[in-house]
């Protein structure tokens, strides 16, 4: 019995279910189908999907479901559910919409392609694509570079060299942030100048990163960093604050002084993903498949036995696919 439980917990997301929000609606990809639900979990439509969905990306009028293993993307019209399968380069791992245009990052082809249009060759092992101010940024792990791409021309306009082998990359509008599990660093660069910013100590093994609050006139951006080794989500302020203060915050947090970390949250297991939307931030442990809500200094269990990717944050809570049904938790 014990062994069966163990294997269940360790099961990879073979029959993958991927949940994502599309505006106020919720998209679910599984078993070769894509379904769109409204905010009350009522099904709007069901369309052809991909065999092994790995990611859903939503635009204003289209939804894209990636199949990294099969090198395909299913493009679905949000209003009608009409779907179309498109072949991609090798191993599409990430994608973004800019208006109606879908840009797919094919990692093992080292290429960013505009679906139905041109492509640009990137530095080897491109892993993440992000957008800010209608410009595309791609981080490639092997050379540790972020390349800025002008979508209209699909040309690389600027490049900044950081360090190789980051495990996540996010942008808060002015600053790019990358986390490095191997040397426990958060590294930054300025989008305006494409110059390197700070290298900041970041816990023990920082793996995932989310911008939980965007910079405004009164306050800096706020970041959440999942650290499975420390079993903690670090909360810190973005580049606008003094880098030394951030570093000091991490050090104090690590020492347990709590001087900078009252908002950091500890968990009973090692969380390795963190997702944020509006005022809600959740953390996820893919080993025990447990989803937590960040609440003060302790994580609160939201749901257990949730496969990786089978949850998303909505305007009013969490949507998750559990035991064959879509559940909304407010």
Partner 1 sequence: MKPLDDCPLPPGEGAAQQRVRGAHLALLFALVAAPLVAQQPRIASDFEIAQMKQQIERAHDFVSQLSGHLNLGDLYLTRSESATARAEYAKALEIAGHERLSARKASDITRYATATAYAALANAKLGDGAQAFAAAEEAIRYTSGSAKSWNLYSSAMTLLRRPQKAVSAARNAVAIASRELAPSPSVADKLDLAVYEYSLASSLIESGETTEAERLLRTVTSALRSSDFASLRRDVARKESFEIYSSARGDEAAYLSLANRAGLRLASLLEQRSDLGGARSEYERVLELRTDDPTALAALARLSTAGERERYFAAAFDANPFSMALIREYQRHLGAGEAGGAPLSDETTGAQVRKVLVQMHRGERRGAGETLDALLQRFPNNDTLRTLRRETEVTAEAPAFLASKRTNVTPTETELRQLVGALQADKLTPEQRTALDHIVFTSKVTFDAGTTKDGQTIFESGRIGDVRFKFSEPIAFAGSFGMEAKLTYRILGATDSGLLLEPVRLER
**Residues of the shown chain interacting with partner 1 in the complex, contacts defined by CB under 8 A:** 3, 6-7, 9-16, 32, 48, 51-52, 68-70, 72, 85, 87, 90-91, 107-110, 124-125, 127, 141-142, 164-165, 167, 181-182, 204-205, 207, 228-231, 269-270, 286-287
Q: How far is the CB of 116 from partner 1 (least distance, A)?
A: 13
Q: Which is nearer to partner 1, 7 or 217 (CB)?
A: 7
Q: Which is nearer to partner 1, 99 or 116 (CB)?
A: 116
Q: How far is the CB of 50 from partner 1 (least distance, A)?
A: 9
Asked if 80 and 66 touch (Cβ cutoff 8 Å), the reply is no
Q: Which is nearer to partner 1, 231 or 263 (CB)?
A: 231
Q: How far is the CB of 77 from partner 1 (least distance, A)?
A: 16
Per the DSSP assignment, residues forming a β-bridge with 200 are 186
Q: Which is nearer to partner 1, 98 or 204 (CB)?
A: 204
Q: How far is the CB of 242 from partner 1 (least distance, A)?
A: 29
- Residue 188, SS3? strand
Q: How far is the CB of 18 from partner 1 (least distance, A)?
A: 12
Q: How far is the CB of 181 from partner 1 (least distance, A)?
A: 6
Q: Which is nearer to partner 1, 16 or 318 (CB)?
A: 16
Q: Which is nearer to partner 1, 87 or 100 (CB)?
A: 87
Q: Which is nearer to partner 1, 151 or 181 (CB)?
A: 181
Q: Where are the alpha helices (DSSP H) in 191-268?
A: 243-255
Asked if 284 and 311 touch (Cβ cutoff 8 Å), the reply is yes
- Residue 242, SS3? coil
What does each C-alpha distance from 88 to 32, 53, 109 come to in angstroms?
17, 14, 9
Angstrom distance (rounded) from CA 79 to CA 244:
49
Angstrom distance (rounded) from CA 146 to CA 97:
19
Angstrom distance (rounded) from CA 125 to CA 129:
12
Q: How far is the CB of 139 from partner 1 (least distance, A)?
A: 11
Angstrom distance (rounded) from CA 200 to CA 206:
11
Asked if 288 and 9 touch (Cβ cutoff 8 Å), the reply is yes
> What DSSP character marks residue 109?
G
Angstrom distance (rounded) from CA 104 to CA 56:
12
> What DSSP character marks residue 108?
G
Q: Which is nearer to partner 1, 222 or 232 (CB)?
A: 232
Q: How far is the CB of 213 from partner 1 (least distance, A)?
A: 25
Angstrom distance (rounded) from CA 286 to CA 167:
15
Burial category of 296 from C-beta neighbours within 10 Å (exposed 0-12, middle 13-18, buried 19 and up): exposed
């Amino acid at each position: 019995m014990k062994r069966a439980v163990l294997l269940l917990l360790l099961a990879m997301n073979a029959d993958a279910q991927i949940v994502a929000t599309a505006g106020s609606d919720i998209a679910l990809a599984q078993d070769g189908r894509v379904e769109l639900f409204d905010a009350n979990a009522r099904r709007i439509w069901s369309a052809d999907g991909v065999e092994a969905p790995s990611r859903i990306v939503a635009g204003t009028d289209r939804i894209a479901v990636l199949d990294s293993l099969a090198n395909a993307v299913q493009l679905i019209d949000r209003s009608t559910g009409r779907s179309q399968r498109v072949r991609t380069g090798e191993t599409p791992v990430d994608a973004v919409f800019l208006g109606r245009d879908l840009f797919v990052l094919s990692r093992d082809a080292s290429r960013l392609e505009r679906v139905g249009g041109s492509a640009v060759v990137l530095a080897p092992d491109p892993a993440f694509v992000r957008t800010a101010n209608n410009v595309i940024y791609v981080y490639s792990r092997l050379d540790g570079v972020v390349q800025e791409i002008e979508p209209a021309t699909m040309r690389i306009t600027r490049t900044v060299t950081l360090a190789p082998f980051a495990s996540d990359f996010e942008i808060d509008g002015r600053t790019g942030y990358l986390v490095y599990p191997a040397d426990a660093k958060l590294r930054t660069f300025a989008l305006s100048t494409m110059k390197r910013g700070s290298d900041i100590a970041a816990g023990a093994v920082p793996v995932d990163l989310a911008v939980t609050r965007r910079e405004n006139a009164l306050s800096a951006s706020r970041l959440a960093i999942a650290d499975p080794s420390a079993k903690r989500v670090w909360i810190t302020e973005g580049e606008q604050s003094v880098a030394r203060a951030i570093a000091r915050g991490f050090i104090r947090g690590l020492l347990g002084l709590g001087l900078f970390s009252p908002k950091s949250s500890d968990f009973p297991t090692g969380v390795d993903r963190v997702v944020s939307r509006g005022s809600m931030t959740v953390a996820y442990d893919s080993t025990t498949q447990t989803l937590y809500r960040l609440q003060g200094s302790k994580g609160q269990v939201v749901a257990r036995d949730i496969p990786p990717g089978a949850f998303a944050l909505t305007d009013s809570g969490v949507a998750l696919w559990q035991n064959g049904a879509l559940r909304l938790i407010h």
